[in-house]
Structure 1
Amino acid sequence: MGGRGQGVREVTDPLLDLVRRHSEPVVAQTVRSTVAAVISYVVALLLSNEPAPMTAPLTALLVVQVTLYTTLTTGVRRVNAVVVGVVIAIGFSSLVGLTWWSLGLIILASLVIGRFVKAGEFVPEVAISAMLVLGVTSTRVAATAWDRVLETLIGAVVGLLFNVLFVPPVWVQPASEAIEGLADRMRSLLLRLGDEVRGHTTVAEAAARLHEARRLDHDIVEVEAALRQAEDSLRLNPRVKEGLLSRIVLRTGLDALEISAVVLRTVCRTLTDLAKARTDEPLFTADIAAALQELFAHLARAVGSFAVLITTQVSANAEQAEEQLVRELAAGRASRETVAHLLLDGVRAHPRQWQLHGALLAEIDRILDELDVAKRSERLVEELNRQAREQREKYPLVDKLRGRLRLSRGDASVDAHETARTE
């Protein structure tokens, strides 16, 4: 009986897990895409002459992208691509039939014209539409062509309306988790570096850490993709009050972590060079190694606090993370000064590879500077001002209307934070 109960739990657990995760972006997007495709197919059956109008659900499936912003932009380009392809097919059908050379010619013309009409990533759709329409018999070309246009419009309209009425999910949480994952890997690497500087480090061990640091580049690419998706989900989303500010916080935070990851790779390169030069002895003396281990530990905790600071949505957690970050950076700078004095004394006694010691200190300084709280605040203000300035330049009429409204209310100035709220 216990075995049967265990089997039931194994079967039902995935379903229960799916129910619990219904509000997650991936699950929500899957359900939305399916419903939109089915609705567009039903509408196309009522309005189109085709017995199986599959173009409508296909279009809806592609138009209902993960964000409202991409839905609006890709929907227009896709309809544009299909209409252009249909027009090209109608023109060719009136002149030539379907042969191998006419097929090649229509594909070439469609791809070239698609570039000129700015179809974007839907340039192949121009050629696909033209081929599908040209493939029917000449007596049905016009009817098939306009049915395809109608189906595409139905799918696009259903997709657009679906995203307007049922706003797509916000993808900030997956991006935040990706950023925290990157920071956790950096933190773990820093702790391992602290362990390895104590005692004798072989060239193979140092090279392994360098290879691990290089793998962070792949992690950064994945985090960048997740962040771009999150940024698009915040644009034009009525669920979000401060979309611009949220995007800038994540973007500037990832930029700082990315630079820190590159510098961390350089640190590993420096330690590898030291290991190659000191194969029969420890990298550092015992007192320097202990100070470096403490310094790497402070850097590791600072990276973790920095990630929490830029990804948390709760102000209390953000304040706690900022306080922790300030403490770790202060302790890290104090440890850095201790290491610098110890290295200087060591270089005076044994001036071998002194340039690598200086490089190590410079790299540590760069990481401390990138994670600095004051510098982060400056970046946020600069980026907010830049975005506000670009919005004013892009939409001068809207800016003039805002200025008149402010003057009428007796408020002649507005800061960048208010601009972020109005986006």
Structure 2
Amino acid sequence: MRDPRQWRLPRERLTRLRRDPVVVQTLRSAAAATLAYVIALHLSPEKAPLTAPLTALLVVQVTLYATLTNGVRRVNSVVAGVLVAIAFSLLVGLTWWSLGLLIIASLGVGHLVRVDEYVPEVAISAMLVLGVTTVGDTAWARVLETLIGAVVGLGCNLLLAPPVWVDEAGESVEDLARRLRQLMLRMGEQAAGPTPVDRAAARLHEARRLDHDIAGVDAALRQAEDSVRFNPRVREGLLHRVVLRTGLDTLEICTVVLRVIARTLTDLAKERESEPLFAPEVGAVLERLLAEVADATVSFAVLVTAHVSENAESAEERLTAELRRAATTRDKLAGLLLEEVRRDPGQWQLHGAVLAEVNRIIDEMDTEHRTRRLLEELDRVSAEQRERMPRLLTRIGDGMRVGRGRLAAARRSR
């Protein structure tokens, strides 16, 4: 008889696949394109109305917010291209020089109607329509198919909520923090002993690569920010967006500061050549300090990506304790470096730079500093939203005040 645990493993894999945003998005896109094609077969005069599934495939984006914005822009781009093609077919027809004018006119119209990244779609639609014989029928058939695809795509996202990419963005942020930690540990090891210039330069290049890789994390975060907009599956979407964004901003600052520390250690290695970068006691304390700051960096990332309040509280307590230990070690390092500078003032600029930059990282991850930064960002985003929708917010506020007044009146009448 087969062990029940052997059945559990395939079920767990199937559950993970069902929750995987990539799998969910693939199935949603395929379903929307197929449904749009079936509907277009009954409504469009074309034998193979492939414009409808193509539009549905493009409209069903990763997020509901992108679907709404892309659907409207794509429909506008296709309709604009069709209208330009109809005008050219009536005036000049299709020649080599009219094709060039058609492309110029289509791209200009695309910028005028503000379809953003779909500007080339205006010219593509115009060329496809102008290149057929029965321009009028094909033009309106293409418009109809585009509308069918857009409506089906929007409907699929409304009925089948798109995946939320917050967890994936959180994993990217945590991965960045772990890589920061590994680099700090390696830099601490080289500070405690003799360090060749090429090894110090390797750490500097690694810090620069890490700085460049932030762009990938930022792209994942932008995708997560869009996935929580207008998504019925997400509560407190604004808070999720602001927490992750401010957290990534802090880690980006820490990455830049770490790159400066790596540069300082490289310059110090050039000055010391075969000698240790620091005295043995100073090097040991600096290594311990970088290790403590490295652990605090990972705890900070866990705090930023924590969704459950209990996890957030424990992560904040752990981060506070680690930063407190790092601050104590920093003070000890400051005293040792002061004694070192008094004995040998030749490299006091580089010693002071290392201490100042490490202190900058500690201050950036401080819980009070983060809370203040988070509140400022929430106020800024809220103010931007109020500026965008002042009338709607005014109506909602008036409705809430009227509702509270009626409720108070009903209570007094009892």
With the length of structure 1 as denominator, give the TM-score of the two structures.
Answer: 0.91
SS in 2 for 1:53: coil
- Give the Cα–Cα distance (whole angstroms) in 2 for the partners of residues 357 and 300 of structure 1: 20
State how far apart, in whole Å, the 2-side matches of 1:260 and 1:165 are.
Answer: 42
Moved more, 365-374 or 315-324: 315-324
Out of 80, 85, 88, the residue aligned to residue 84 of structure 1 is 80
> Residue 130 of structure 1 aligns with which residue?
126
Determine the C-alpha separation between the residues in 2 that align with 1:410 and 1:15: 51
2:285 alignment partner in structure 1 = 291
Once the two structures are superposed, what CA deviation does each residue of 1:164-212 show, in whole Å capped at 9, x if it has no partner? Answer: 1111010001100000110000011111111111110110110011111
CA distance in 2, matches of 1:34, 1:333: 55
Alignment map for 1:52-63 (pairs within 5 Å): 52-63=48-59
After TM superposition, the structure 1 = structure 2 runs for residues 95-114 of structure 1, keeping only pairs within 5 Å, are 95-114=91-110
The match for 1:171 is 165
CA deviations 1:95-115 (Å, max 9, x no partner) are 122211111110111011111
Structure 1 residue 120: deviation in Å? 0.7
SS in 2 for 1:334: helix
1:24, CA displacement in angstroms? 1.2
Q: Letter of the 2:52 partner, please give it.
A: A
The alpha carbon displacement at 1:398 in A equals: 2.3
CA distance in 1, matches of 2:373, 2:16: 38
User: Which secondary structure does the structure 2 equivalent of 1:352 belong to?
Assistant: helix
Residues 177-216 of structure 1 aligned to structure 2 (within 5 Å): 177-216=171-210
Q: Which residue of 312, 331, 339 corresponds with 1:337?
A: 331
Are 1:45 and 2:27 an aligned pair? no
Cα distance in 1 between the residues matched to 2:16 and 2:113? 45
The Cα of 1:15 is off from its aligned counterpart by 11
Q: In the alignment, is the contact (CA less than 8 A) between 2:59 and 2:70 conserved in 1?
A: yes
Q: 1:393: how far off?
A: 2.1
List runs of 5+ in structure 2 lacking aligned partners. 1-5, 406-414
Equivalent of residue 270 in structure 2, options 268, 272, 276:
276
1:66-85 equivalent positions in 2, closer than 5 A: 66-85=62-81
In structure 2, relative to structure 1, the CA distance for the partners of 1:15 and 1:58 (3 Å cut) is: farther
Cα offset for 1:14?
9.9
Report the Cα distance in structure 2 between the residues aligned to 1:272 and 1:206, rounded to whole angstroms.
5
- Assess, with a 3 A threshold, how the Cα gap between structure 1 residues 14 and 203 changes in structure 2: closer, same or farther: farther
Q: CA deviation at 1:402?
A: 3.4
Q: Secondary structure at the residue paired with 2:286?
A: helix
CA distance in 1, matches of 2:404, 2:148: 48
The alpha-carbon distance between structure 1 residues 321 and 19, as it changes in their structure 2 partners (threshold 3 A), is closer
Deviation at 1:218, TM superposition (A): 2.7
State the match for 2:19 in structure 1: 23
Q: Structure 2 counterpart of 1:322, which letter?
A: E
Corresponding residue SS for 1:22: helix
CA distance in 2, matches of 1:14, 1:221: 36
Q: Which amino acid aligns with 1:256?
A: T
Structure 1 pair 99–366 and aligned structure 2 pair: CA distance change class (3 A): same
**Per-residue displacement from partner, 1:379-419 (whole Å, max 9, x unpaired)?**
111111122222222222222233334434669xxxxxxxx
Partner of residue 120 from structure 1, selected from 116, 124, 128: 116
The aligned counterpart of 2:409 is none
| Structure 1 counterpart of 2:199, one-letter code | E
The aligned residue for residue 356 of structure 1 is 350
SS at match of 2:132: coil
Per-residue CA distance 1:250-298 (angstroms, 9 max, x = gap): 0000000000000000010000000000002100011101110110011
2: CA distance, partners of 1:162 / 1:398: 27
State the partner residue of 2:311: 317
The one-letter code matched in structure 1 to 2:122 is: V
Q: Which amino acid aligns with 2:79?
A: V
2:351 alignment partner AA: H
1:36 aligns with 2:32: yes
In the other structure, the counterpart of 1:253 is 247
SS at match of 1:52: coil
CA RMSD of aligned residues (A): 1.6
One-letter code aligned to 1:113: V
Identical counterparts, % of pairs: 62
Could you tell me how far apart the structure 2 residues matched to 1:86 and 1:407 are? 49
Cα distance in structure 1, aligned partners of 2:12 and 2:89: 55
- Name the CA shift for 1:41/1:16 in 2 (closer, same or farther; >3 Å): farther
Match of 1:407 among 396, 401, 410: 401
Matched-pair contact (CA < 8 Å) for 2:195–2:274: no
CA distance in 2, matches of 1:129, 1:18: 41
Query: 2:192, 2:287 within 8 Å by CA — same for their partners in 1?
Result: yes
- Which amino acid in structure 1 is aligned with residue 30 of structure 2? T
Distance 1:31 1:110 in 2: 34
Partner AA of 2:356 in structure 1: A
**Residues 22-49 of structure 1 deviation map (CA, whole Å, 9 limit, x = unaligned):** 2111110010000000000000001001
Structure 2 distance, partners of 1:405, 1:54, is 47
Which residue is equivalent to 2:380? 386
